[in-house]
Structure 1
Amino acid sequence: MTPDIVVTEGLTKRYGDFTALSDCSMSVVRGEVFGLLGPNGAGKTTLIRLLLGHLQPTSGQLSIDGIDPRVDGVELRKRVAYLPGDARLPRHMKGGAVLRFFADMHPSGNLDRSLEVAEILELNTRTRVAFMSTGMRQKLALAVVFGVDTPLLILDEPTANLDPTVRGNVLNLVMDAKRVGRTVMFSSHVLSEIEDTCDRVAFLRKGKLAHRLAMKDLYQRHRITALVDQAHANMEAPETIASRIHTTIDGQSVAIVTDGDLAPMLSWVDSLALSQVRIEPLGLRAVYDAVHTGQAVAL
């Protein structure tokens, strides 16, 4: 087996003059949790549908577990469990019957596991789908997907319409899948979910892969904000750390963004005689906002 379970090279999808996805080259490593971030219309769902063979690319190459979905879609579906953003379920069936139907249909289906997930998500499987709320239908779809034992899970907005407690349970299921060696690829608008679960993240903007980020690198970034007497301020950093900081002064306010181990920078910060100093992790929000507005990202 190759180290990467998902690979795309120059993947592009056009509809006439409109380009939904442009020249996307990326990979997902086996056993990792990989996040897709971007606003609505950024190309996340288009990318997922191309990977699954639901759409045909205009150009480029792609594979999942070594399989090209354009060549062998049946074999591909044995390797992937997919939660669409708008999951449709048989309205005339009860929850338990839906779980049994999908468990019987997929070669790797496991009804006992699906029922276990439904219980974790506090879903009453005796309710008919037609009488379920939006959140209950989401739980049922999640129980279907997590009940299938495939090497790859692709989840499109898995926690949509769920309350905070159930959201936490879903993220625990994602981490459980990772612990047993499965790969999870999911999109979300909730940045805290990405921070809590993902090993790496890809940012899409206007159909293009705008930025890639390893979360371990994000954890090494901090923002220091403070007040400074500009008349007496010498903000020039020593050569040993100059390449790892970016300083902005606006009136009496100073913002210093650091990259890497914070400890070597603290003595320099202390020498600046700043007041009202605040040190905080930079966080995913700052990177997301920079990508979303088309700014350069230093990380």
Structure 2
Amino acid sequence: MTDSVEETADETDDPGAANTGYSPTCDARTDIVRCQGLSKRYGDFDALKDCDVRVRQGDVFGLLGPNGAGKTTLIRLLLGYLHPTGGSCAIAGLNPEVDSVAVRREVSYLPGDARLPRHMRGDGVLKFFSEIHPSGNRDKSHSIAKRLELDLRRRVAFMSTGMRQKLALAVVLATETPLLILDEPTANLDPTVRGEVLNLVREAQNEGRTVVFSSHVLSEIEETCDEVAFLRHGVLAHELKMAELFQRHRVTAKAPSTVPEIPDPLANSASITIVDAIGDREGRVTIDTAGDLAGFLPWINSLGLSDLRIEPLGLRSVYDAVHAGQKVAI
């Protein structure tokens, strides 16, 4: 699914033109996706406003946000399905406004509402898509379908929603383009198959491919992505490198007395902030940390705390803060 079959027929004269292999112009760590001030406006409604995004070649890049935040609008602008009302974007140096077919040669796209020929059997669908572009790989698509435990003998019309999702994934992930765009790829799948899809995403990255991954499942983003962009009301509200998030922890405990001032240079090196106790008569304190915990733990041990709990800050806390319109520290 370079595009869904019905979408392709509607929006380009060349339905088989997508996915012709890796771009020779994309070096190892260049930006394969660039957006500058990208906007899409419908009347007085901003579906996307002044969006600046850069995705490096070889990264897994997450898009997060509630329904209506602008994720699908951004993807459709990148692929040339929509025309921007402001700003610009490019994939592998190609402008979708100038040549959207050339752009889609660089992309394997799984839409959130993937549609497949209902009269075909699963095997026929894989054969069809593997033959309509030069980078198709029928053997690989069969291998992926097997890993996803998909019965290819059924007609699409008689497949469940989850089976159709597996079939679409086998089409998209087997197509060896430099960029994969996956819109809710694990929707309607059981936990075991979800895990296998994430394994396939990591394998694609290990092959040097780039993945743009839109999902509502925060644990999937945490597990697979190098960087995440948060969209809210059509605005890019926050960007986060996952390596920075993994260095953030929250310590909660009961303190026997007032917690002493953090000594220098510990405060500077670990970026430690003490948050006020949360409505507790027993003197509970919350301490947020950023950086290596190794230098922080001896100080914590000296405080005589009890009921100590240390846990990763987690993507949920960042997502909730962004969704609430709050300032995010990382």
Q: TM-score, normalised by structure 2?
A: 0.88
Query: 3-state SS of the aligned residue for 1:239?
Result: coil
Asked if residue 56 in structure 1 is aligned to residue 87 in structure 2, the reply is: no
Alignment-derived partner of residue 14 in structure 2: none
Confirm whether residue 204 of structure 1 aligns to residue 214 of structure 2: no
Counterpart in the other structure of 1:237: 262
Query: Match for residue 42 of structure 2?
Result: 15
Contact 1:233 1:272 in 2 (8 A): no
Q: CA deviation at 1:108?
A: 1.4
Report the Cα distance in structure 1 between the residues aligned to 2:151 and 2:179, rounded to whole angstroms.
27
Q: CA deviation at 1:296?
A: 1.1
- Structure 1 gaps of 5+ residues are none
Task: State the match for 1:281 in structure 2.
Answer: 312
Q: Deviations 1:99-135 (Å, cap 9, x if unpaired)?
A: 1111111221111111111111111111000000000
**Does the 8 A contact of 1:78 with 1:107 survive in 2?**
no
**Number of residues paired by the alignment?**
297
Instruction: Please show how residues 174-193 of structure 1 align to structure 2 within 5 Å.
Output: 174-193=201-220
For residues 168 and 73 of structure 1, the distance between their equivalents in structure 2, rounded to whole angstroms, comes to 33
**How far apart, in 2, do the equivalents of 1:45 and 1:274 lie?**
47
Cα displacement string for residues 176-214 of structure 1 (whole angstroms, at most 9, x for unaligned residues): 101110111110111111111111111111111111111
Residue type of the alignment partner of 2:266: I
In the aligned structure 2, how far is the partner of 1:209 from the partner of 1:75?
Answer: 27
**Corresponding residue number in structure 2 for 1:93:** 120
Q: Aligned partners of 2:303, 2:39: CA distance in 1, in Å?
A: 50
Aligned in 2, Cα 1:223/1:145: closer, same or farther, shift over 3 Å?
A: same
Give 1:1-299 correspondences, 5 Å limit.
1=26, 3-229=30-256, 232-243=257-268, 244-248=271-275, 249-250=277-278, 251=280, 252-299=283-330
Shift of 1:141: 0.4
**Mapped partners of 2:170, 2:97: distance in 1:** 28
Q: What is the distance in 1 between the residues matched to 2:183 and 2:112?
A: 5
Equivalent-residue separation in structure 1 for 2:309 and 2:325 (angstroms): 27
Return structure 1 stretches of 4+ with deviation > 3 angstroms. none
Give the Cα–Cα distance (whole angstroms) in 2 for the partners of residues 80 and 235 of structure 1.
55
Quote the RMSD (CA, aligned, Å): 1.1
TM norm structure 1: 0.97
Deviation at 1:253, TM superposition (A): 1.6
- Specify the code of the residue in structure 2 equivalent to 1:237: I
The C-alpha deviation readout for 1:124-160, integer Å capped at 9, x for no partner, is: 1110000000000000100110121100000000000
Q: Secondary structure at the match of 1:167?
A: helix
- 1-structure distance, mates of 2:252, 2:182: 37
Identity of aligned residues (%): 65
Q: Which runs of 5+ in 2 are unaligned?
A: 1-25
What SS does the aligned partner of 2:265 have?
helix
SS in 2 for 1:122: coil
Segment of structure 1 superposing worse, 210-219 or 237-246:
237-246
Which secondary structure state, in structure 2, belongs to the residue aligned with residue 170 of structure 1?
helix
Shift of 1:45: 0.7
- For the residue of structure 1 that corresponds to 2:296, the secondary structure is helix
Q: CA deviation at 1:242?
A: 2.8
CA-CA distance at 1:241 after TM superposition: 3.0
| Cα separation, partners in 2 of 1:264 and 1:131, compared to 1, 3 Å | same
Greater shift, 60-69 or 285-294, is seen at 285-294
Task: For 2:265 and 2:317, locate their aligned partners in 1 and report how far apart those are by CA, in whole Å.
Answer: 25
